[in-house]
Every structure is written in structure tokens, then in C-alpha cells.
Amino acid sequence: RRLISGVSSGLPDHLEILGTRYPTDAITNVTPAILSKLSLRLHTQHAHPLNTLRSLIEAHYPDWAHLSSLSPLVTPYQNFDELSFPKDHPGRAVTDSYYVNKDMMLRTHTSAHEVEVFRKGHTKWLLTADVYRRDEIDGSHYPVFHQMEGACIFDADASAMKAVEEDNARLSQQLEQANIVIEDVPHISPTNPVQPSHDARHSELVAKNLKLSLNTLMFKLFGGVAGSSKENPLRVRWIEAYFPFTSPSFEVEVFFQGKWLEILGCGVVRQATLDTAGVSNKMGWAFGLGLERIAMILYSIPDIRLFWSTDPRFLSQFEHGKITTFKPYSKYPSCFKDVSFWSPKDKTIHENDFCDLVRDVAGDLVEDVRKIDHFVHPKTGRTSTCFRINYRSMDRSLSNEEVNVIQSQVVSRLRDQLGVEIR
Ligand code: FA5
Ligand code: MG
């Protein structure tokens, strides 16, 4: 494997992924730990919370197409270009995305399938899938997670827009906000503009329809969340956002465990996407939900790693189709280990490279990773970094010897793969 070009470490010529062989190249950065997740498809496992959540949302949109078996391997063209991502967008970087090689990657979001699904003629659809991102390590971030994309497109003419307006009136009536308080933002604003090819009134109706549809869904999902009541309602807020493939764009955050947790992104679909898909006479909206984040709120699941647990104390708590409050089994002690190193000359080690290496060695035994020190040597110009790794198993107590063995593997791979000098 190779994380930084120039530092070789036995990357094979080919990788076999889901039954197909792919040549590797200079930007290959998928790890065995990541590849081992591809076949698991938690959103289809019986009684798994993510599967139950998928069923509940699908039941909320009964007449829509429900898709959930598209391959996680996509081209960078599908994941980025078709969605109007600029060539220099940071999401394309090897520090942020997993590449099999320069022509094939693991999708970073379910939006990667928008064009192909619209092209097939679907106008109202949901698509659930595992997505992959190189990211930090903590309780609400995991390099593999699940998203559900939803989209709804209408004929871009006066009579279809009249129907949207009627639908909006019907949805507004349905929304008696009992145990949920929703803060809104304007549908359109100078910083969140209508698209040049859109009639502003139509865009506003469509954005409003999007918000009402999602508010109705959230009301249904969160209405009964443990701990919420009329006096102590669940707090939800809409904020302006930016995506290359929607405008106006929004994100929704929910107040959870004392913090605002982002659960979804959405917006009015960019006309370029619909043009590429051959449906330029339509306009509409799309959303992408973070299923783990929503399930954490619904089931009171405190750590995102738990979704991957095969411990019967986790899995046996759930029944398909039912939301129940997770009863945590005892938390085992943490074991902190620090590692400090000098980066190779003229190179900075990206935090995601470090986290990915740790994840590959330690798997789910790592709870979080924090950068605790970073400085540049005034004379040599070299960078020194110190990371603190928090090891904690969700299932058992780790012995100090066991953690030392893992830590020394981390240290030697840091040396071999990233070419750093341990301090
Ligand atoms: C997107 O991925 C857009 N494709 C969403 C979208 C779809 C916008 C359609 C417009 C139209 P974002 O990167 O914000 O957006 O991710 C969406 C959600 O996925 C987040 O709100 C969050 O709930 C979840 N998410 C993102 N990163 C992680 C992670 N590392 N671990 C767990 N959940 C995550
Ligand atoms: Mg976001």
C-alpha cells in the first residue's frame, strides 16, 4: 500500500473488489479496512436500525421508487463532474476521497447516482446506499456511512406549479408542530439565489415544497423521540448551505446531546443535472439524509461505531420496523497513547492520512484521534506533529499490553508508509 507517492510499501498491481479486478495506480488509497465494509450493506440487514430507518422513510413516501442496490464503485465523473463540481473542488482530493485508481472511486455521496436515476425516467425516488469519505475520527464521523437520497421533479409549467402550490397548502395543514420546534430561513436570499434559468416564483414554491416534505418526515420520525415533550421539544433548524448541484441549498441540524448535529443537505436541483439526464423540461428538489445521524437521535445510540458492532448485546436489542431506546452496556476504560513525529522534508502529513492509517491498524478499537500539538522547527523548517489516540473497545476491556502492540504497529507503519521520523 501507498499513502504518499514516493514512499513505497508493497501495493499490489491489482485489487479485487466485489468480484472485479482493478489495476492500482499512483492515487490508489483504498485500505483493506475500508474494502472489508463494501459487502456488509447494513441498510439491508434484518432488524438493523439503519434498515428499520430506511423502511420507515420508504413507508413515508409509498408511491416513490425505492432503490438500494447500486454498486459503491463510481467514476469521478459520476461523483463530481456530472454534478457541476469545479475541477479544483477539495472533495476530489485523495486526502478526502477513496480512489481505487484514477478512473474509479468509492462514491462519497448518494448524489453520485442522481443523473442515472433521472435518466431512467424516475421522477419521485429514494435511493439508499453506503458512502465513503476520508474524515476525522470521533463519535459522529465514520469513514463509511449511509445516506438516503430523495428527489422529486415536476413539469416546469404553470399547471404543475399550481399542483405544487396545492400540495404545499395540504402539507402545511398537516404540520401541527407538537413536540418539535423548527427554525426556518428564507427560501431564497441574495446568498442563496434562484438559478438564472428558473422563474423565481416557481423556485420558491419548489423550495417550500422541499421543506414541507422534509418537515413532515421529521415530524413523523422525531415526534416521539425519547425525552421530547411539549415543554421540552426537539429543536430543529434550517440553515443556508452551498452545494454545486443545487440552488437554493439548505442543511438541517437537530439539537442532540448538547450540540447541533447536521442530519441532511438538500436544495432545488441544478438545471444542468436535469439537462444531462435528458429531462430538461422538469424542475424539482433533492435531499441527502445521513442515516446514522438520524438513527443516533431516534435510538439514542451514542457512538457511530456501534452500527458496525456484531456484539449480540447490540444487535439483539432491535426488532425490525420498531424504534426502541438503546440501552448502553457498560463503557470500558479508555487507553490514551500519544505519538509525535517529524514530517518528511517539504511534506505535511494530512490528518486524514494519519486517521486512515490508524483505522486500518486498529479498526473499531479506536474511539477518537486528536491533534494535540503542531509546530514548525524555526531552523530546519520541518514540521512536528503530535496525535493523541484514544483506544477503547465497545465490547470488552483492552489490556495495556494489547494496546501497546497496536500502537507499535501504528508507529512502524507511520515510519514505513508516511516516511516520518518518530520523536
Ligand atoms: C451531501 O452529501 C449532499 N450530497 C447532500 C445533498 C443531496 C445536497 C441532494 C443537495 C441535494 P453532506 O456532505 O452535507 O451533503 O452530507 C449529507 C449528510 O451526511 C450530513 O448532513 C450528515 O448527516 C451525513 N454525514 C456526512 N459526513 C458524515 C460522516 N463522516 N459520518 C456520518 N455521517 C456523515
Ligand atoms: Mg454538510
- Per-10-residue mean pLDDT of the chain, 423 residues long, equals 48 94 97 95 97 98 97 98 97 97 98 98 98 91 96 97 96 76 94 97 98 92 70 87 98 89 97 98 98 94 93 94 90 94 89 95 94 92 94 93 97 95 94
* Domain map (residue ranges) of the chain: 33-315, 332-422
Give CA–CA dist 218/240, Å, rounded: 18
Residue nearest (by alpha carbon) to ligand 1 atom 33: 290
Between the alpha carbon of residue 394 and those of residues 303, 316, 328, 363, the distances in Å are 9, 15, 10, 12
pLDDT at 6: 39
33-315 folds as BirA Bifunctional Protein; domain 2 (3.30.930)
Q: How far apart are the first and last CA of the chain?
A: 24
pLDDT at 7: 43
Gap from CA of 12 to ligand 1 centroid (Å): 32
The pTM of this model reads 0.89
Compute the chain's Rg from CA coordinates: 23
Looking from the CA of residue 136, the nearest atom of ligand 1 is 30
Q: pLDDT tens-digit profile of 45-76?
A: 999 999 999 999 999 999 999 999 999 999 99
pLDDT at 224: 65
pLDDT at 4: 46
- Give the ipTM: 0.99
Gap from CA of 217 to ligand 1 centroid (Å): 17
Ligand nearest, relative to CA of residue 253 = 1
Question: Which CATH code is given to the segment(s) 332-422?
Answer: 3.30.70.380
Between the alpha carbon of residue 103 and those of residues 76, 77, 79, 168, 238, the distances in Å are 7, 9, 11, 43, 36
Give residue ranges with CB within 6 A of ligand 1: 109, 111, 133, 135, 141-142, 145, 147, 149, 243, 246, 262-267, 286-288, 290, 292-293
Beta bridge partners of 130: 146
Give CA–CA dist 76/235, Å, rounded: 37
- At 254, phi and psi to the nearest 5? -125, 140
Residue nearest (by alpha carbon) to ligand 1 atom 31: 141
Mean pLDDT value across the chain? 93
State the CB neighbour count (10 A cutoff) for residue 237: 15
